[in-house]
Chains A and B, each alone.
Chain A
Amino acid sequence: MASLSIETIWKAYGDVIALRDINLEIADGEFVVLVGPSGCGKSTLLSIIAGLEDTSHGALHLGARDVTDLSPKDRNIALVFQSYALYPTMTVRQNITFGLENRRVPRDEQARAVAEVAKLLQIEPLLDRKPAQLSGGQRQRVAMGRALVRDPDLFLFDEPLSNLDAKLRVEMRTEMKKLHKRLGQTIVYVTHDQVEAMTLSDRIVVMNGGEIQQVADPDTIYRKPANLFVAGFIGSPAMNFLDVEITGRPGELSAVLPGPSPVTLPLGATRDELTPYLGRRVTLGIRPEHLRPGGDGLPLDCTVEVVEPTGPDTMLVLDMAGHALVAVTPAEYRPAEDSRITLALQIDEASVFDPETGRRIARAEEGAAVETLAARRRA
Chain B
Amino acid sequence: MTVADTHIPDLTRRKPRSAGQIAGRVALYAVLLVMAGFVLMPLAVIALNSVRVNEDILRESFIGWPTRLTLENWGTAWSTACINASCTGVKPYFWASMLMVVPATVISTAVGLLNGFALTKWRMPCADVIFVCITIGVFLPPQVVLLPWAIALSWLGLAKSLTGLALVHIIQGTCFTTLFCRNYMINLPDDLIRAAQIDGAGFFRTFWRIVLPLSPPIIIVTVIWQFTFIWNEFLFAVTFSSSDFRPITAALMSLNADDTGVSEYGFGSAAVLIAAIPPLVIYFLGGRYFVRGLTQGAVK
Could you list which residues of chain A lie within 8 angstroms of chain B, going by C-beta atoms?
Answer: 47, 50, 52, 71-73, 77-79, 81-83, 85-90, 98-99, 102-103, 146
Which of A73, A81, A90, A146 has a CB less than 8 Å from the CB of B191? A81
- Cα A101 to Cα B210 in complex, Å, equals 14
Residues of chain B within 8 A of A72, CB atoms compared: 197-198, 200
Residue with the highest number of chain B CB atoms closer than 10 Å, among A85, A87, A88: A85
Distance from B162 Cβ to chain A, minimum over Cβ atoms (Å): 36
Known: A98-B201, A102-B199, A146-B199. A85 touches B194 (CB 8 A): yes
Residues of chain A within 8 A of B194, CB atoms compared: 47, 52, 79, 81, 85
- Cα A87 to Cα B196 in complex, Å, equals 9
A98 near B196 (CB under 8 angstroms)?
Answer: yes
User: On chain B, which size bracket covers the interface?
Assistant: 10 to 19
A-B contact count (CB 8 A): 58
Task: Indicate whether B209 reaches chain A with its CB closer than 8 angstroms.
Answer: yes
B189 near A83 (CB under 8 angstroms)?
Answer: yes
Per-residue CB contact flags for chain B residues 184-227 toward chain A (1 = under 8 Å, else 0) read 00000101101111111110010001100110000000000000
A50 near B200 (CB under 8 angstroms)?
Answer: no
B198 near A102 (CB under 8 angstroms)?
Answer: no
Which of A79, A85, A103 has a CB less than 8 Å from the CB of B192? A85
Distance from B184 Cβ to chain A, minimum over Cβ atoms (Å): 15
Residues of chain B within 8 A of A99, CB atoms compared: 198-200
- Cα A103 to Cα B201 in complex, Å, equals 9
Instruction: Give 29 A-B contacts (CB < 8 Å), ordered by A residue.
Output: A47-B194, A52-B194, A52-B197, A52-B198, A73-B197, A73-B198, A73-B199, A73-B200, A77-B198, A78-B198, A81-B195, A82-B191, A83-B189, A85-B191, A85-B192, A85-B194, A87-B196, A87-B209, A88-B214, A89-B210, A90-B209, A98-B196, A98-B201, A99-B198, A99-B200, A102-B201, A102-B205, A146-B195, A146-B199
Residues of chain B within 8 A of A83, CB atoms compared: 189, 191
Residues of chain A within 8 A of B209, CB atoms compared: 87, 90, 98
- Cα A83 to Cα B210 in complex, Å, equals 16
Residues of chain B within 8 A of A86, CB atoms compared: 195
Q: Which 8 A-B residue pairs are closest in the complex by CB-CB distance?
A: A99-B199, A73-B200, A85-B191, A89-B213, A102-B200, A85-B195, A72-B197, A81-B191
CB-nearest residue of chain A relative to B194?
Answer: A52
B210 near A87 (CB under 8 angstroms)?
Answer: yes
Residues of chain B within 8 A of A52, CB atoms compared: 194, 197-198
B195 near A87 (CB under 8 angstroms)?
Answer: yes
Since A73-B201, A85-B192 are in contact, a sample of 14 more A-B pairs with Cβ atoms closer than 8 Å, ordered by chain A residue number, is A47-B194, A50-B198, A52-B198, A73-B197, A79-B198, A85-B189, A86-B195, A87-B192, A88-B214, A89-B214, A98-B201, A102-B200, A102-B201, A146-B199
Residues of chain B within 8 A of A85, CB atoms compared: 189, 191-192, 194-195
